[in-house]
Amino acid sequence: MIGTSYGAVLDGMEGKVVRVEADVSAGLPQFTVVGLPDSSVNESKARIRSAIRNSGLEFPRGRITVNLSPAGIRKRGVGLDLAIAIAILRAGRQLAPRPENTAFLAELALTGELLPLPEALRLTDACAEQSLPNVVVSHLQRDGEWLLNQATWQNATTLLEVSDWLNGLGQLTTHRPLPPKLKRHEACDMCEVENLTFAKRGLEIAAVGGLHTLLVGPPGSGKTMLAERFVTLLPSLPPTHAREVVSLLHSFSNVDWCSATPPVRAPHHSISSTGLTGGGHPIYPGEATFAHRGVLLLDELLEFNRSALQSLREPLMERQIRISRAGQSVLLPADFILIATSNPCPCGQYGFGVCRCLESERNRYWSKIAGPLMDRFDLVIAVHQSSSIQKSPVSMPEKSQFIRSRVSEAKAALSAQTRLSLSSTRSRLANPAFLARSAEIAAALGISRRGLESVRHIANCIAVLDGIEIPGEPQLLEALQYRNPQIR
């Protein structure tokens, strides 16, 4: 008799449904798994055998062959444990064959207990798309794993409990979770940074347009404080984007994340290019993907490895990363806003005080950022140390929630939730005088074609933020201040 069940595995970033077939035939005892399993799936044979026996069930005698279909997909991980066990028990005539619209997603302990899977959310989505709306999972599966999920899953404690349910001898707890009310969780606020009005204005513009920004200033000027608080200016994630973030972080980084605040990833400067953009075998996402729909913060940018920085050129423009390894090609999402900080030179005083560096030292210091990568920064903001301390009384700094409110209104006016493409911006800039003037200034300053489009995009964001229908020369001149050709 052939016993069947359904499970799912991750294929790159996507969940794939796997049909599990088990056959028990006469012969010497042997347990074989075919269908392109990797070592982790082959190792599950010992767990499954012990789990069945320790659950008080009979492990079939004879030659057992388990087939995982489709055979062209590499099966990795421990998520097929329960599905394989169910197929074997059905082949041994210990379980009823129905229901057929149920998938089984859990790891098995030697005692027969069901253990949770970090990638359960993505796997459940794949099952629901393949007409498998009922999913049996561990009772330990965290509610956050199922954020906004429309599938129904059955919570079970042990393999024996699942077998009794399939035989009509008991009931499992049916649970369709309600989407939680996501709240923002922020440990800092922009009001904690005094003065620095010019830099704050630039970050507000960056939040409106989803603009990659480099903050340059001497040590102690406040650029890192500004960068860390940039995320507080971004609107809360809509439900669809929040679910993307939850799925990514739970599946690949084991982070129990459940917040309306966009994610922030701040890797150490010693990170490799693989750690930053992904890679390896099997292919694993990097920090750029974990920052999807949020902020990638690179503090002290020029301390990072040159190859790691150059690997960001593709995601900064395409908002995704394609990695091909050993016949496998995976498309990783990477729609983030890059916020970076840097000193202007090794001593940190060039352009802001008395610099002790030679010109050759400054050139070598900035050589890690090639021209094409530098050109991908929409805003380069000078953070002046002298402006952070003023003798005259100043008003109380504005709280992030008020700035965020303006940003949200501006984004709504632009009909964008994360980032406007340059093509959509171009269609809004129908003023011939503005186009001609911006092209003239760009030519005089040696700004590239990409830089010109970026300047126009910045000017458009400024206009919308200020409630102006069409950008003009005042917005263009302000946009050019944030390109900062002296630093470039």
- Would you list the DSSP string of 223-292? HHHHHHHGGGGSPPPPHHHHHHHHHHHHHHT------SSPPEE---TT--HHHHH-BTTTTB--HHHHTT
CA pair distance 155, 421, nearest whole angstrom: 44
Max Cα-Cα span within the chain: 92
d(CA 265, CA 277): 12
pLDDT band at 62 (very low <50, low <70, confident <90, very high): very high
End-to-end Cα separation, the chain, in angstroms: 72
Kindly state the tokens that stand for 72: 């062209």
Whether the predicted pLDDT of 370 surpasses 60: yes
Q: What proportion of the chain, given as a percentage, has pLDDT over 70?
A: 89
Contact predicate 95/20, CB 8 Å:
no
CATH 3.30.230.10 domain position(s) in the chain? 2-175
Look up the CATH number of domain 2-175: 3.30.230.10
Q: How many CA atoms lie within 13 A of 398 on its CB side?
A: 14
According to DSSP, residue 133 is labeled -
- Secondary structure class of 149 (helix, strand, coil): coil
Nearest partner of 123 among 14, 261, 244, 278, judged by Cα: 14
Minimum mean pLDDT among 36-50, 107-121, 379-393: which range?
379-393
Alpha-carbon gap, residue 289 to 245, rounded angstroms = 9
Interval 155-191: pLDDT, tens = 999 999 999 999 999 899 887 655 666 778 788 999 9
Superfamily of domain 190-417: P-loop containing nucleotide triphosphate hydrolases (3.40.50.300)
25 forms bridges with which residues in the sheet?
A: 63
Buried b (16+ CB within 10 A) or exposed e, 327-342: eeebebbbbbbbbbbb
Can you read off the two tokens belonging to residue 166? 């399939």
pLDDT higher than 60, residue 364: yes
d(CA 260, CA 243): 10
CATH 3.40.50.300 domain position(s) in the chain:
190-417
Mean pLDDT along residues 332-349 = 93
The two tokens of residue 447 are: 């700004």
Q: What is the rounded average pLDDT for all residues in the chain? A: 87
Q: What is the pLDDT of residue 173?
A: 84
